[in-house]
Structure 1
Amino acid sequence: MNGTSDILCIGSVLWDVIGRTDASMRQGNDVPGRITRLPGGVALNIAMTLKRFGLTPALLSIVGSDPEGDELVTACDDMGLITAFLLRDARLPTDSYIAIEDNGGLVAAMCDAHSLEAAGDRILAPLFDGRLGSAEAPYSGPVALDGNLTEALLIDVAEHPALRKADLRIAPASPGKATRLTPLLAHPGATLYVNLEEAGLILGRTFDAAFHAADALVAAGATRALVTDGARSAALGEYAGTISDTPPRVPQKRVTGAGDTFMAAHIAAERRGESGAVALRTALNAAATYVSGEDPA
Protein backbone atom coordinates (compact mmCIF):
# COMPACT_ATOMS: atom_id res chain seq x y z
CA MET A 1 0.00 0.00 0.00
CA ASN A 2 1.21 3.53 -0.83
CA GLY A 3 0.24 6.78 0.91
CA THR A 4 1.40 9.32 3.45
CA SER A 5 2.32 8.01 6.89
CA ASP A 6 1.98 9.54 10.36
CA ILE A 7 4.71 7.36 11.85
CA LEU A 8 7.36 4.86 10.75
CA CYS A 9 7.45 1.43 12.40
CA ILE A 10 10.89 -0.14 12.03
CA GLY A 11 11.71 -3.71 13.03
CA SER A 12 10.11 -7.14 12.97
CA VAL A 13 7.20 -7.87 10.64
CA LEU A 14 6.42 -11.58 10.82
CA TRP A 15 3.90 -14.30 11.61
CA ASP A 16 2.98 -14.91 15.27
CA VAL A 17 2.04 -18.48 16.17
CA ILE A 18 0.43 -18.42 19.63
CA GLY A 19 -0.72 -21.44 21.62
CA ARG A 20 -3.04 -20.68 24.57
CA THR A 21 -4.48 -22.97 27.21
CA ASP A 22 -6.63 -22.45 30.29
CA ALA A 23 -4.57 -25.09 32.11
CA SER A 24 -1.47 -24.53 34.21
CA MET A 25 1.68 -25.79 32.47
CA ARG A 26 5.09 -27.00 33.50
CA GLN A 27 8.02 -28.24 31.43
CA GLY A 28 7.13 -31.25 29.32
CA ASN A 29 3.34 -30.82 29.53
CA ASP A 30 1.12 -31.64 26.55
CA VAL A 31 -2.27 -29.96 27.04
CA PRO A 32 -5.30 -29.02 24.93
CA GLY A 33 -5.58 -25.43 23.80
CA ARG A 34 -6.03 -23.09 20.87
CA ILE A 35 -3.30 -22.32 18.31
CA THR A 36 -3.59 -19.21 16.14
CA ARG A 37 -1.42 -17.64 13.46
CA LEU A 38 -1.61 -13.86 13.22
CA PRO A 39 0.41 -11.02 11.68
CA GLY A 40 2.89 -9.97 14.35
CA GLY A 41 6.34 -8.83 15.34
CA VAL A 42 6.99 -5.83 17.57
CA ALA A 43 6.99 -3.25 14.78
CA LEU A 44 3.87 -4.69 13.16
CA ASN A 45 2.03 -5.09 16.48
CA ILE A 46 2.68 -1.43 17.22
CA ALA A 47 1.62 -0.43 13.70
CA MET A 48 -1.66 -2.39 13.92
CA THR A 49 -2.53 -0.77 17.23
CA LEU A 50 -1.63 2.69 15.96
CA LYS A 51 -3.94 2.11 13.02
CA ARG A 52 -6.80 1.27 15.40
CA PHE A 53 -6.10 4.60 17.11
CA GLY A 54 -6.51 6.45 13.82
CA LEU A 55 -2.90 6.83 12.67
CA THR A 56 -1.40 5.63 9.36
CA PRO A 57 1.89 3.79 9.96
CA ALA A 58 4.47 2.85 7.34
CA LEU A 59 6.48 -0.34 7.82
CA LEU A 60 10.25 -0.57 7.37
CA SER A 61 11.33 -4.18 7.58
CA ILE A 62 12.04 -7.25 5.50
CA VAL A 63 9.47 -9.77 4.33
CA GLY A 64 10.46 -12.77 2.25
CA SER A 65 9.25 -13.28 -1.30
CA ASP A 66 7.88 -16.67 -0.23
CA PRO A 67 4.13 -17.45 -0.05
CA GLU A 68 4.14 -16.63 3.68
CA GLY A 69 5.55 -13.20 2.86
CA ASP A 70 3.03 -12.54 0.11
CA GLU A 71 0.22 -13.45 2.48
CA LEU A 72 1.64 -11.23 5.22
CA VAL A 73 2.00 -8.19 2.95
CA THR A 74 -1.55 -8.67 1.70
CA ALA A 75 -2.78 -8.81 5.30
CA CYS A 76 -0.92 -5.56 6.08
CA ASP A 77 -2.36 -3.87 3.00
CA ASP A 78 -5.86 -4.99 3.98
CA MET A 79 -5.37 -3.33 7.38
CA GLY A 80 -4.45 -0.02 5.74
CA LEU A 81 -0.75 -0.09 6.64
CA ILE A 82 1.79 1.36 4.23
CA THR A 83 3.95 -1.46 2.85
CA ALA A 84 5.64 0.39 -0.03
CA PHE A 85 8.93 0.69 1.89
CA LEU A 86 9.22 -2.99 2.87
CA LEU A 87 12.30 -4.81 1.63
CA ARG A 88 11.41 -8.03 -0.21
CA ASP A 89 14.25 -10.51 -0.63
CA ALA A 90 13.85 -13.86 -2.39
CA ARG A 91 16.95 -15.20 -0.64
CA LEU A 92 15.53 -14.80 2.87
CA PRO A 93 12.42 -16.44 4.38
CA THR A 94 9.71 -14.55 6.20
CA ASP A 95 10.47 -14.39 9.92
CA SER A 96 8.25 -15.94 12.61
CA TYR A 97 7.56 -16.01 16.35
CA ILE A 98 6.08 -18.75 18.51
CA ALA A 99 4.75 -18.48 22.06
CA ILE A 100 2.97 -20.71 24.57
CA GLU A 101 0.67 -19.11 27.17
CA ASP A 102 -1.17 -20.79 30.04
CA ASN A 103 -3.53 -19.48 32.71
CA GLY A 104 -0.62 -17.75 34.43
CA GLY A 105 0.72 -15.95 31.38
CA LEU A 106 3.67 -16.57 29.09
CA VAL A 107 5.29 -20.02 29.48
CA ALA A 108 7.89 -19.83 26.70
CA ALA A 109 8.55 -18.01 23.46
CA MET A 110 11.01 -17.98 20.59
CA CYS A 111 11.54 -15.39 17.85
CA ASP A 112 13.17 -16.32 14.55
CA ALA A 113 14.22 -12.90 13.25
CA HIS A 114 17.23 -14.13 11.30
CA SER A 115 16.09 -12.50 8.06
CA LEU A 116 15.71 -9.12 9.78
CA GLU A 117 19.21 -9.45 11.21
CA ALA A 118 20.64 -10.58 7.87
CA ALA A 119 19.04 -7.67 6.00
CA GLY A 120 20.85 -5.13 8.18
CA ASP A 121 20.70 -1.50 7.13
CA ARG A 122 19.03 -2.34 3.81
CA ILE A 123 15.66 -1.99 5.57
CA LEU A 124 16.55 1.65 6.35
CA ALA A 125 17.33 2.60 2.73
CA PRO A 126 14.22 4.84 2.38
CA LEU A 127 15.53 6.98 5.26
CA PHE A 128 18.90 7.44 3.58
CA ASP A 129 18.11 7.69 -0.15
CA GLY A 130 15.64 10.58 -0.09
CA ARG A 131 12.34 8.70 -0.20
CA LEU A 132 11.74 9.43 3.49
CA GLY A 133 14.87 11.34 4.43
CA SER A 134 18.60 11.73 3.93
CA ALA A 135 21.67 13.03 5.73
CA GLU A 136 21.00 16.46 4.22
CA ALA A 137 17.25 16.40 4.93
CA PRO A 138 16.80 14.31 8.11
CA TYR A 139 13.52 12.59 8.86
CA SER A 140 11.93 14.55 11.70
CA GLY A 141 8.74 12.63 12.42
CA PRO A 142 7.96 9.89 14.94
CA VAL A 143 9.60 6.47 14.62
CA ALA A 144 8.63 3.31 16.52
CA LEU A 145 11.78 1.21 16.68
CA ASP A 146 12.05 -2.34 18.00
CA GLY A 147 15.05 -4.06 19.51
CA ASN A 148 14.99 -7.01 17.13
CA LEU A 149 17.44 -5.01 15.01
CA THR A 150 21.07 -5.95 15.44
CA GLU A 151 23.19 -3.97 17.88
CA ALA A 152 25.25 -2.61 14.97
CA LEU A 153 22.12 -1.36 13.23
CA LEU A 154 20.77 0.23 16.42
CA ILE A 155 24.09 2.05 16.80
CA ASP A 156 23.70 3.24 13.19
CA VAL A 157 20.21 4.54 14.00
CA ALA A 158 21.55 6.36 17.06
CA GLU A 159 24.36 8.03 15.15
CA HIS A 160 23.17 8.45 11.55
CA PRO A 161 22.60 12.10 10.55
CA ALA A 162 19.45 11.12 8.60
CA LEU A 163 17.80 10.27 11.94
CA ARG A 164 19.26 12.93 14.21
CA LYS A 165 15.96 14.86 14.30
CA ALA A 166 13.64 11.86 14.62
CA ASP A 167 11.25 11.35 17.52
CA LEU A 168 12.44 7.81 18.39
CA ARG A 169 10.09 5.58 20.39
CA ILE A 170 12.00 2.43 21.29
CA ALA A 171 10.93 -1.02 22.51
CA PRO A 172 13.48 -3.74 23.36
CA ALA A 173 11.43 -6.65 21.87
CA SER A 174 12.47 -9.00 24.70
CA PRO A 175 14.59 -8.95 27.87
CA GLY A 176 17.30 -10.87 26.05
CA LYS A 177 17.74 -7.98 23.63
CA ALA A 178 17.36 -5.10 26.08
CA THR A 179 21.07 -4.33 26.35
CA ARG A 180 21.14 -3.60 22.61
CA LEU A 181 19.35 -0.33 23.38
CA THR A 182 22.20 1.17 25.41
CA PRO A 183 23.62 3.22 22.48
CA LEU A 184 20.21 4.86 21.99
CA LEU A 185 20.21 6.40 25.47
CA ALA A 186 22.27 9.26 24.06
CA HIS A 187 19.86 10.13 21.22
CA PRO A 188 18.19 13.46 22.14
CA GLY A 189 14.82 12.39 20.74
CA ALA A 190 14.66 8.91 22.27
CA THR A 191 11.86 7.59 24.47
CA LEU A 192 12.37 4.10 25.92
CA TYR A 193 9.45 1.72 26.56
CA VAL A 194 10.68 -1.14 28.76
CA ASN A 195 9.49 -3.41 31.53
CA LEU A 196 11.11 -3.60 34.95
CA GLU A 197 13.38 -6.52 34.04
CA GLU A 198 14.54 -4.85 30.82
CA ALA A 199 15.33 -1.60 32.64
CA GLY A 200 17.51 -3.54 35.05
CA LEU A 201 19.35 -5.31 32.25
CA ILE A 202 20.08 -2.03 30.44
CA LEU A 203 21.54 -0.49 33.60
CA GLY A 204 23.08 -3.64 35.07
CA ARG A 205 21.03 -3.31 38.25
CA THR A 206 17.86 -4.67 39.81
CA PHE A 207 14.88 -2.52 40.79
CA ASP A 208 11.95 -3.18 43.08
CA ALA A 209 9.61 -0.71 41.39
CA ALA A 210 9.06 0.93 38.00
CA PHE A 211 9.37 4.42 39.53
CA HIS A 212 12.98 3.81 40.60
CA ALA A 213 13.87 2.20 37.26
CA ALA A 214 12.46 5.09 35.20
CA ASP A 215 14.27 7.58 37.42
CA ALA A 216 17.55 5.69 36.99
CA LEU A 217 17.23 5.48 33.20
CA VAL A 218 16.87 9.25 32.98
CA ALA A 219 19.84 9.68 35.31
CA ALA A 220 21.82 7.42 32.94
CA GLY A 221 21.10 9.74 30.01
CA ALA A 222 17.70 8.78 28.61
CA THR A 223 15.57 11.74 27.59
CA ARG A 224 12.41 9.86 28.59
CA ALA A 225 11.66 6.35 29.84
CA LEU A 226 8.39 4.53 30.43
CA VAL A 227 8.70 1.44 32.60
CA THR A 228 5.92 -1.13 33.13
CA ASP A 229 5.71 -3.93 35.68
CA GLY A 230 2.73 -6.10 34.77
CA ALA A 231 -0.20 -5.40 37.09
CA ARG A 232 1.96 -3.27 39.39
CA SER A 233 2.58 0.47 39.01
CA ALA A 234 4.14 1.82 35.80
CA ALA A 235 6.23 4.99 35.61
CA LEU A 236 7.21 7.80 33.28
CA GLY A 237 10.63 9.32 33.85
CA GLU A 238 11.85 12.53 32.24
CA TYR A 239 14.09 15.46 33.14
CA ALA A 240 11.22 17.30 34.83
CA GLY A 241 10.68 14.39 37.22
CA THR A 242 9.17 10.91 37.48
CA ILE A 243 5.49 10.00 37.91
CA SER A 244 3.75 6.66 38.33
CA ASP A 245 0.29 5.15 37.98
CA THR A 246 -1.29 1.72 38.54
CA PRO A 247 -3.03 -0.15 35.70
CA PRO A 248 -6.66 -1.21 36.08
CA ARG A 249 -7.26 -4.71 37.44
CA VAL A 250 -8.67 -6.95 34.69
CA PRO A 251 -8.99 -10.70 34.05
CA GLN A 252 -5.94 -11.91 32.14
CA LYS A 253 -6.92 -13.46 28.80
CA ARG A 254 -3.70 -12.85 26.84
CA VAL A 255 -0.21 -11.52 27.35
CA THR A 256 1.71 -11.46 24.06
CA GLY A 257 1.45 -7.97 22.56
CA ALA A 258 0.45 -6.12 25.75
CA GLY A 259 3.67 -4.10 25.88
CA ASP A 260 3.36 -3.17 22.22
CA THR A 261 -0.22 -2.04 22.85
CA PHE A 262 0.93 0.11 25.78
CA MET A 263 3.59 1.77 23.62
CA ALA A 264 1.26 2.38 20.66
CA ALA A 265 -1.47 3.78 22.90
CA HIS A 266 0.98 6.19 24.53
CA ILE A 267 2.28 7.40 21.16
CA ALA A 268 -1.26 7.91 19.87
CA ALA A 269 -2.26 9.74 23.05
CA GLU A 270 0.61 12.19 22.66
CA ARG A 271 -0.23 12.69 18.99
CA ARG A 272 -3.71 13.76 20.17
CA GLY A 273 -2.15 16.30 22.51
CA GLU A 274 -2.20 14.35 25.77
CA SER A 275 0.92 14.46 27.90
CA GLY A 276 2.39 13.40 31.23
CA ALA A 277 0.05 11.60 33.61
CA VAL A 278 -2.89 11.75 31.18
CA ALA A 279 -1.04 9.96 28.38
CA LEU A 280 0.34 7.40 30.83
CA ARG A 281 -3.17 6.63 32.11
CA THR A 282 -4.48 6.29 28.53
CA ALA A 283 -1.72 3.79 27.70
CA LEU A 284 -2.32 1.74 30.86
CA ASN A 285 -6.05 1.58 30.17
CA ALA A 286 -5.43 0.42 26.58
CA ALA A 287 -2.99 -2.29 27.70
CA ALA A 288 -5.44 -3.50 30.35
CA THR A 289 -8.22 -3.68 27.77
CA TYR A 290 -5.95 -5.75 25.52
CA VAL A 291 -4.96 -8.14 28.33
CA SER A 292 -8.65 -8.64 29.17
CA GLY A 293 -9.21 -10.00 25.63
CA GLU A 294 -10.68 -6.90 24.02
CA ASP A 295 -9.11 -4.74 21.31
CA PRO A 296 -8.52 -1.15 22.47
CA ALA A 297 -9.73 1.59 20.17
Structure 2
Amino acid sequence: MTDRQPDILCIGSVLWDVIGRTASHMRVGSDVPGRIHRLPGGVAMNIAMTLVRFGLRPALLSAVGRDAEGEELAAEAAKMGMETAHLYRSDDLPTDIYMAIEGANGLIAAIADAHSLEQAGAKILRALEDGRLGTPDSPWSGLVALDGNLTTDLLTEIARSPLFARADLRVAPASPGKAERLLALMGHPTATLYVNLEEAGLLCHQPFDSSETAARALVARGAHRALVTDGGRAAALATAQDCITRTPPEVLVTRVTGAGDTFMAAHIASEAEGMAPDAALERALHAAATYVSGDTPL
Protein backbone atom coordinates (compact mmCIF):
# COMPACT_ATOMS: atom_id res chain seq x y z
CA MET A 1 0.00 0.00 0.00
CA THR A 2 1.28 3.44 -0.91
CA ASP A 3 2.22 5.85 1.90
CA ARG A 4 0.63 8.87 0.23
CA GLN A 5 -2.32 10.43 2.00
CA PRO A 6 -5.83 9.63 0.75
CA ASP A 7 -7.81 12.21 -1.20
CA ILE A 8 -10.79 12.05 1.17
CA LEU A 9 -11.87 10.34 4.38
CA CYS A 10 -15.17 8.44 4.38
CA ILE A 11 -16.39 8.15 7.96
CA GLY A 12 -19.43 6.08 8.88
CA SER A 13 -21.07 2.80 7.96
CA VAL A 14 -19.16 0.11 6.08
CA LEU A 15 -21.21 -3.07 5.96
CA TRP A 16 -22.89 -5.68 3.79
CA ASP A 17 -26.04 -4.70 1.90
CA VAL A 18 -28.58 -7.46 1.34
CA ILE A 19 -31.03 -6.10 -1.21
CA GLY A 20 -34.09 -7.90 -2.55
CA ARG A 21 -35.46 -6.43 -5.79
CA THR A 22 -38.56 -7.30 -7.78
CA ALA A 23 -40.28 -5.85 -10.85
CA SER A 24 -43.64 -6.30 -9.10
CA HIS A 25 -45.52 -3.71 -7.09
CA MET A 26 -45.47 -4.68 -3.41
CA ARG A 27 -47.54 -4.07 -0.31
CA VAL A 28 -47.47 -5.37 3.25
CA GLY A 29 -47.45 -9.16 3.12
CA SER A 30 -46.45 -9.47 -0.55
CA ASP A 31 -44.55 -12.62 -1.52
CA VAL A 32 -43.15 -12.24 -5.04
CA PRO A 33 -40.28 -13.52 -7.20
CA GLY A 34 -37.20 -11.36 -7.60
CA ARG A 35 -33.45 -11.23 -7.13
CA ILE A 36 -31.44 -10.96 -3.90
CA HIS A 37 -27.98 -9.41 -3.98
CA ARG A 38 -25.32 -9.14 -1.28
CA LEU A 39 -22.78 -6.41 -1.94
CA PRO A 40 -20.55 -3.98 -0.03
CA GLY A 41 -22.63 -1.10 1.28
CA GLY A 42 -23.24 1.44 3.99
CA VAL A 43 -23.26 5.19 3.41
CA ALA A 44 -19.50 5.64 3.81
CA MET A 45 -18.77 2.64 1.60
CA ASN A 46 -21.26 3.70 -1.09
CA ILE A 47 -19.72 7.16 -1.22
CA ALA A 48 -16.23 5.68 -1.39
CA MET A 49 -17.15 3.33 -4.24
CA THR A 50 -18.39 6.25 -6.35
CA LEU A 51 -15.35 8.37 -5.47
CA VAL A 52 -13.11 5.56 -6.74
CA ARG A 53 -15.00 5.57 -10.04
CA PHE A 54 -14.22 9.30 -10.29
CA GLY A 55 -10.51 8.63 -9.79
CA LEU A 56 -10.17 9.59 -6.11
CA ARG A 57 -8.53 7.50 -3.39
CA PRO A 58 -10.74 7.39 -0.27
CA ALA A 59 -9.81 6.07 3.15
CA LEU A 60 -12.46 4.30 5.21
CA LEU A 61 -12.89 5.12 8.90
CA SER A 62 -15.42 2.72 10.34
CA ALA A 63 -15.87 -0.38 12.47
CA VAL A 64 -15.58 -3.78 10.78
CA GLY A 65 -15.52 -7.05 12.68
CA ARG A 66 -12.81 -9.68 12.48
CA ASP A 67 -15.45 -12.24 11.58
CA ALA A 68 -15.54 -13.90 8.17
CA GLU A 69 -17.92 -11.24 6.87
CA GLY A 70 -15.57 -8.49 8.00
CA GLU A 71 -12.50 -10.08 6.47
CA GLU A 72 -14.30 -10.45 3.14
CA LEU A 73 -15.64 -6.90 3.27
CA ALA A 74 -12.25 -5.33 4.04
CA ALA A 75 -10.66 -7.35 1.24
CA GLU A 76 -13.35 -6.22 -1.22
CA ALA A 77 -12.83 -2.56 -0.25
CA ALA A 78 -9.07 -2.80 -0.71
CA LYS A 79 -9.50 -4.55 -4.06
CA MET A 80 -11.73 -1.69 -5.23
CA GLY A 81 -8.99 0.85 -4.43
CA MET A 82 -9.92 2.11 -0.96
CA GLU A 83 -7.52 2.63 1.94
CA THR A 84 -8.56 0.18 4.66
CA ALA A 85 -5.60 0.44 7.06
CA HIS A 86 -7.46 2.88 9.32
CA LEU A 87 -10.55 0.72 9.88
CA TYR A 88 -11.24 -0.14 13.51
CA ARG A 89 -11.21 -3.95 13.52
CA SER A 90 -13.02 -5.35 16.52
CA ASP A 91 -12.64 -8.87 17.92
CA ASP A 92 -15.92 -8.57 19.81
CA LEU A 93 -18.26 -6.67 17.48
CA PRO A 94 -19.78 -8.35 14.41
CA THR A 95 -19.72 -6.73 10.98
CA ASP A 96 -22.82 -4.60 10.45
CA ILE A 97 -25.49 -5.40 7.86
CA TYR A 98 -28.30 -3.60 6.01
CA MET A 99 -31.36 -5.31 4.55
CA ALA A 100 -33.84 -3.76 2.11
CA ILE A 101 -36.74 -4.76 -0.11
CA GLU A 102 -37.36 -2.78 -3.30
CA GLY A 103 -40.36 -3.17 -5.57
CA ALA A 104 -41.56 -1.48 -8.73
CA ASN A 105 -43.16 1.10 -6.43
CA GLY A 106 -39.86 1.97 -4.72
CA LEU A 107 -38.32 1.10 -1.37
CA ILE A 108 -40.78 -1.07 0.53
CA ALA A 109 -38.87 -1.54 3.79
CA ALA A 110 -35.35 -1.53 5.18
CA ILE A 111 -33.54 -2.37 8.40
CA ALA A 112 -30.07 -1.04 9.16
CA ASP A 113 -28.14 -2.96 11.80
CA ALA A 114 -25.28 -0.53 12.49
CA HIS A 115 -24.94 -1.40 16.17
CA SER A 116 -21.23 -2.23 15.94
CA LEU A 117 -20.46 1.17 14.43
CA GLU A 118 -22.44 2.86 17.20
CA GLN A 119 -20.74 0.83 19.93
CA ALA A 120 -17.26 1.49 18.53
CA GLY A 121 -17.90 5.23 18.84
CA ALA A 122 -14.83 7.48 18.76
CA LYS A 123 -12.49 4.49 18.33
CA ILE A 124 -13.03 4.78 14.57
CA LEU A 125 -11.37 8.24 14.67
CA ARG A 126 -8.06 7.15 16.23
CA ALA A 127 -6.07 7.71 13.03
CA LEU A 128 -7.06 11.38 13.12
CA GLU A 129 -5.33 11.97 16.45
CA ASP A 130 -2.41 9.52 16.59
CA GLY A 131 -0.48 11.05 13.69
CA ARG A 132 -1.47 8.69 10.91
CA LEU A 133 -3.96 11.16 9.43
CA GLY A 134 -3.51 14.09 11.79
CA THR A 135 -3.19 15.26 15.38
CA PRO A 136 -5.11 17.78 17.50
CA ASP A 137 -2.37 20.35 16.79
CA SER A 138 -2.07 19.49 13.10
CA PRO A 139 -5.52 18.23 12.09
CA TRP A 140 -6.66 16.76 8.80
CA SER A 141 -7.30 19.65 6.42
CA GLY A 142 -8.88 17.87 3.46
CA LEU A 143 -12.26 16.50 2.45
CA VAL A 144 -14.33 14.38 4.84
CA ALA A 145 -17.54 12.54 3.92
CA LEU A 146 -19.46 11.93 7.14
CA ASP A 147 -22.62 9.89 7.53
CA GLY A 148 -25.46 10.01 10.01
CA ASN A 149 -25.10 6.40 11.13
CA LEU A 150 -22.79 7.79 13.82
CA THR A 151 -24.45 8.48 17.15
CA THR A 152 -25.66 11.95 18.07
CA ASP A 153 -23.02 12.07 20.81
CA LEU A 154 -20.22 11.31 18.37
CA LEU A 155 -21.52 13.79 15.78
CA THR A 156 -21.66 16.42 18.51
CA GLU A 157 -18.09 15.57 19.49
CA ILE A 158 -16.98 15.86 15.86
CA ALA A 159 -18.67 19.25 15.52
CA ARG A 160 -16.61 20.60 18.42
CA SER A 161 -13.40 18.62 17.97
CA PRO A 162 -10.09 20.23 16.98
CA LEU A 163 -9.51 17.11 14.87
CA PHE A 164 -12.05 18.48 12.35
CA ALA A 165 -11.34 22.20 12.75
CA ARG A 166 -9.75 22.46 9.28
CA ALA A 167 -11.68 19.73 7.47
CA ASP A 168 -14.05 20.30 4.56
CA LEU A 169 -17.00 18.37 5.96
CA ARG A 170 -19.62 16.82 3.65
CA VAL A 171 -22.46 15.35 5.69
CA ALA A 172 -25.38 13.06 4.85
CA PRO A 173 -28.02 11.37 6.99
CA ALA A 174 -28.15 7.60 6.76
CA SER A 175 -31.94 7.73 6.43
CA PRO A 176 -34.86 10.03 7.25
CA GLY A 177 -35.11 8.25 10.60
CA LYS A 178 -31.62 9.48 11.52
CA ALA A 179 -31.79 12.91 9.88
CA GLU A 180 -32.18 14.86 13.11
CA ARG A 181 -28.78 13.61 14.27
CA LEU A 182 -27.31 16.15 11.83
CA LEU A 183 -28.60 19.02 13.96
CA ALA A 184 -25.35 18.58 15.90
CA LEU A 185 -23.46 19.93 12.87
CA MET A 186 -25.61 23.00 12.28
CA GLY A 187 -23.33 25.99 12.62
CA HIS A 188 -20.12 24.14 11.73
CA PRO A 189 -18.15 26.59 9.58
CA THR A 190 -17.36 24.16 6.74
CA ALA A 191 -20.16 21.57 6.78
CA THR A 192 -22.18 20.96 3.62
CA LEU A 193 -25.41 19.03 4.28
CA TYR A 194 -26.67 16.60 1.62
CA VAL A 195 -30.32 15.75 2.33
CA ASN A 196 -33.54 14.97 0.51
CA LEU A 197 -36.73 16.97 0.86
CA GLU A 198 -38.14 14.79 3.63
CA GLU A 199 -34.90 14.97 5.63
CA ALA A 200 -34.74 18.75 5.21
CA GLY A 201 -38.25 18.97 6.66
CA LEU A 202 -37.25 16.88 9.66
CA LEU A 203 -34.21 19.08 10.31
CA CYS A 204 -36.27 22.27 10.11
CA HIS A 205 -39.39 20.81 11.77
CA GLN A 206 -41.62 21.86 8.90
CA PRO A 207 -42.64 20.46 5.49
CA PHE A 208 -41.36 21.95 2.25
CA ASP A 209 -42.82 21.89 -1.25
CA SER A 210 -39.55 22.48 -3.11
CA SER A 211 -35.84 21.81 -2.73
CA GLU A 212 -35.02 25.50 -3.11
CA THR A 213 -37.25 26.51 -0.21
CA ALA A 214 -35.80 23.71 1.89
CA ALA A 215 -32.16 24.52 1.06
CA ARG A 216 -32.64 28.19 1.89
CA ALA A 217 -34.33 27.27 5.18
CA LEU A 218 -31.44 25.00 6.20
CA VAL A 219 -28.96 27.80 5.59
CA ALA A 220 -31.14 30.19 7.58
CA ARG A 221 -31.12 27.63 10.38
CA GLY A 222 -27.32 27.60 10.48
CA ALA A 223 -26.02 25.27 7.78
CA HIS A 224 -22.88 26.50 6.03
CA ARG A 225 -24.16 25.01 2.75
CA ALA A 226 -27.20 22.86 2.03
CA LEU A 227 -27.84 20.60 -0.95
CA VAL A 228 -31.39 19.26 -1.17
CA THR A 229 -32.66 16.66 -3.64
CA ASP A 230 -36.26 15.78 -4.45
CA GLY A 231 -36.29 12.61 -6.55
CA GLY A 232 -36.99 13.48 -10.18
CA ARG A 233 -37.78 17.11 -9.38
CA ALA A 234 -35.27 19.99 -9.16
CA ALA A 235 -32.41 19.84 -6.66
CA ALA A 236 -31.03 22.95 -4.97
CA LEU A 237 -27.69 24.10 -3.56
CA ALA A 238 -27.90 27.04 -1.15
CA THR A 239 -25.35 29.21 0.61
CA ALA A 240 -25.84 32.43 2.52
CA GLN A 241 -25.17 34.30 -0.72
CA ASP A 242 -26.98 32.31 -3.39
CA CYS A 243 -29.16 29.34 -4.35
CA ILE A 244 -28.95 27.41 -7.61
CA THR A 245 -31.29 24.70 -8.89
CA ARG A 246 -31.01 21.99 -11.52
CA THR A 247 -33.44 19.29 -12.68
CA PRO A 248 -32.21 15.69 -13.07
CA PRO A 249 -32.72 13.84 -16.36
CA GLU A 250 -35.75 11.57 -16.67
CA VAL A 251 -34.86 7.88 -16.39
CA LEU A 252 -36.59 4.58 -15.67
CA VAL A 253 -35.90 3.81 -12.00
CA THR A 254 -34.71 0.25 -11.41
CA ARG A 255 -33.07 0.68 -7.98
CA VAL A 256 -33.01 3.29 -5.23
CA THR A 257 -30.72 2.09 -2.42
CA GLY A 258 -27.45 4.02 -2.67
CA ALA A 259 -28.72 6.71 -5.06
CA GLY A 260 -28.25 9.55 -2.59
CA ASP A 261 -24.75 8.37 -1.73
CA THR A 262 -23.87 8.25 -5.43
CA PHE A 263 -25.17 11.79 -5.88
CA MET A 264 -23.17 13.08 -2.92
CA ALA A 265 -19.95 11.40 -4.03
CA ALA A 266 -20.29 12.65 -7.61
CA HIS A 267 -20.81 16.19 -6.35
CA ILE A 268 -17.78 16.00 -4.05
CA ALA A 269 -15.62 14.62 -6.86
CA SER A 270 -16.81 17.31 -9.26
CA GLU A 271 -15.98 20.09 -6.83
CA ALA A 272 -12.62 18.47 -6.08
CA GLU A 273 -11.88 18.75 -9.80
CA GLY A 274 -12.63 22.48 -9.62
CA MET A 275 -15.98 22.49 -11.41
CA ALA A 276 -18.26 25.51 -10.98
CA PRO A 277 -21.22 25.06 -8.59
CA ASP A 278 -23.87 24.74 -11.30
CA ALA A 279 -21.79 22.30 -13.35
CA ALA A 280 -20.96 20.18 -10.28
CA LEU A 281 -24.64 19.98 -9.33
CA GLU A 282 -25.67 19.01 -12.85
CA ARG A 283 -22.98 16.32 -13.10
CA ALA A 284 -23.99 14.84 -9.76
CA LEU A 285 -27.64 14.66 -10.82
CA HIS A 286 -26.67 12.86 -14.02
CA ALA A 287 -24.53 10.39 -12.04
CA ALA A 288 -27.42 9.62 -9.69
CA ALA A 289 -29.85 9.25 -12.60
CA THR A 290 -27.49 6.83 -14.31
CA TYR A 291 -27.21 4.86 -11.07
CA VAL A 292 -30.97 4.51 -10.45
CA SER A 293 -31.50 3.52 -14.09
CA GLY A 294 -29.23 0.52 -13.46
CA ASP A 295 -26.52 1.56 -15.91
CA THR A 296 -23.84 1.84 -13.22
CA PRO A 297 -22.39 -1.57 -12.27
CA LEU A 298 -23.48 -2.97 -8.91
- TM bin (shorter chain): over 0.9
* Structure 1 unpaired stretches of 5+: none
Q: TM-score, normalised by structure 1?
A: 0.98
Displacement of 1:53 in angstroms is: 0.4
SS of the residue corresponding to residue 47 of structure 1 reads: helix
Give the direction of change, closer, same or farther, for the CA distance of 1:2–1:91 in structure 2 (3 Å limit): farther
Given that 1:2 and 1:83 are in contact with CA atoms closer than 8 Å, whether structure 2 keeps it comes out as no
CA distance in 2, matches of 1:134, 1:35: 43
Establish whether residue 71 from structure 1 lines up as the match of residue 72 from structure 2.
Answer: yes
**Equivalence for 1:205:** 206
User: Partner residue of 1:154?
Assistant: 155
Q: Deviations over 1:227-275 (max 9, x none)?
A: 0010111100012211111100001111000000000000000011112
The corresponding residue for 2:266 is 265
Counterpart mapping for 1:191-270 below 5 A: 191-270=192-271
**Residue 103 of structure 2 aligns with which residue?**
102
Q: After the TM superposition, which of the residue ranges 26-35 and 236-245 deviates more from structure 2?
A: 236-245
Task: Report the equivalent of 1:163.
Answer: 164
CA distance in 2, matches of 1:162, 1:27: 46
What aligned pairs does 1:1-297 form with structure 2 within 5 A after superposition?
A: 3=3, 4-295=5-296
**For the residues of structure 2 that align with 1:290 and 1:256, how far apart are their CA atoms?**
10
Moved more, 270-279 or 116-125: 270-279
Is residue 21–residue 103 contact of structure 1 (8 Å, CA) maintained in 2? yes
Task: Calculate the aligned-residue CA RMSD, in Å.
Answer: 0.9
CA distance in structure 2 between the partners assigned to 1:147 and 1:134 by the alignment: 23
CA distance in 2, matches of 1:161, 1:154: 13
Gaps of 5+ in 2: none
What do the CA deviations read for 1:165-205 (whole angstroms, capped 9, x no partner)? 10000000100100000121111010000000000101111
Conserved 8 A contact 1:12-1:113? yes
Please say if residues 12 and 44 of structure 1, whose CA atoms lie closer than 8 Å, have aligned partners that are also in contact. yes
Query: Residue type of the partner of 2:266?
Result: A
TM superposition shift of 1:2: 5.3
SS in structure 1 opposite 2:100? strand
Q: CA deviation at 1:162?
A: 1.3
Deviation at 1:5, TM superposition (A): 0.6
| TM-score computed with the length of structure 2 as normaliser | 0.98
Poorly superposed stretches of 4+, deviation over 4 Å? none
Task: For residue 16 of structure 1, report the CA deviation from its aligned partner.
Answer: 0.1
State the identity %.
64
Aligned length: 296
Aligned to 1:186, the other structure's residue is in SS state coil
